[in-house]
Amino acid sequence: MLELLYSLAFRPYVTLFLLAFLTLSWLEQGMLRTFIWLITGYLVALAAEWGSINHGIPFGYYAYHYQALENDLVVFGVPFFDSLSFVFLSYVSFSFGQFLLSPHWHRRFNVQRVTPRDLRNSTTMLFVGAFFMMVLDLITDPVAHLGKHWFLGDIYHYPEPGWHFDVTLANYAGWFVVGWLIIFINQRVDAALARREQFGGKSLQLQYVPGKGLFAPLFWFGIASFMLGMTAWLGWGYDLAQVPVAERESFIAETRKLFIAGTFIIAPIAVLAWAHLTRRGGQPSPEQLSVWLKDYPNAKLKALLDT
């Protein structure tokens, strides 16, 4: 129990992102589906990380430094907080994918994403969600690999450093696969629950919140911005007295390159999201609104849309 409390208290970014996931998921898919995503996401990530540290599948081989994790909760050789991160990273990427592929009803800042269930559970959304989770890892893992220089700590290393700022390409492929599997499982769960709800005559009731359609992209870009901000601090604000003299020049060059590379990854996605939201003719048709409200009925939202 003390190890769990330590992981939650001394990994505040994980705890805050987890709370954001619980809030966003509850608003978008209700309590039951949120709980199922939490459990399935964690178990899939735990199995994948166990497979990698022992057999190199699916992320390739890497090794944790348990002396740096002695106060953290570790399950089957895997830090609890690390596997837990896959839960919110997979969900926010899945939700951000829905933002990009759905029309939006909006009045000024009150944006509502119109995503019917068949689009939510489509194969296209499955691959898009897994892709955006992998994109987040392109930003996250290289700076996590420098954890000894910030509050993450020196918790792991690759026996054979990879080509992308020492991160292996197998790691990114593994993130896509794991994201795909978590989303696939929960798409099937949602479809099964929807059939049960339809059979029982009790549809899923979700909360109406003004501007809810903006929450997913703000969350996704919030995670990316946090990692880019940490990278920028390492490149321009870090106390180099903690870096060996012979390594200082290369450390500065590599961290600044990492920040620029990450910015080049995120910037076009941000432009695409803005263009999608503000494009002319992007409002949903009456037929699309009707299908959406049939899948996710809400009297307050229907009254607002009818005005």
**Per-residue pLDDT reduced to its tens digit, 71-115:** 899 999 999 999 999 999 999 999 999 999 999 998 888 999 999
**Position with higher pLDDT, 241 vs 141:** 141
Specify the pLDDT at position 270: 97
Residue 283 has pLDDT above 90, yes or no: no
d(CA 118, CA 129): 15
- When mean pLDDT is compared across 25-39, 199-213, 268-282, the lowest value belongs to 199-213
| 157 strand-pairing partners | 63
| DSSP label of 157 | E
> Is there a contact between 259 and 229 (Cβ–Cβ < 8 Å)?
no
d(CA 200, CA 214): 32
> Is there a contact between 168 and 60 (Cβ–Cβ < 8 Å)?
yes
Residue type, 285: S
| 298 strand-pairing partners | none
275 token code pair? 């263009």
C-alpha 155 chain-centroid distance: 21
d(CA 42, CA 81): 10
**Position with higher pLDDT, 258 vs 12:** 258
Residue 203: closest CA among 27, 29, 41: 29
Confidence at 304, pLDDT banded by 50, 70, 90: confident
Residue 119 has pLDDT above 70, yes or no: yes
Query: Mean of the per-residue pLDDT values for the chain?
Result: 92
Average pLDDT score over residue span 15-42: 97
d(CA 139, CA 56): 22
Specify the pLDDT at position 1: 66
- Residue 118 neighbours by CB under 8 Å, 6+ apart: none
Q: Is 136 exposed, middle or buried (0-12, 13-18, 19+ CB in 10 A)?
A: buried
d(CA 256, CA 188): 42
d(CA 235, CA 252): 5
113: part of which helix (H) or strand (E)? strand 110-113
d(CA 120, CA 33): 14
Residue 94: closest CA among 118, 58, 112, 121: 121
d(CA 126, CA 241): 46
The per-residue pLDDT for range 190-225, each reduced to its tens digit, is 999 999 988 877 878 888 999 999 999 999 999 999
d(CA 301, CA 280): 23
- When mean pLDDT is compared across 89-93, 215-219, 237-241, 303-307, the lowest value belongs to 303-307
Instruction: Report in angstroms the alpha-carbon separations of 153 from 157, 167, 236.
Output: 11, 17, 19
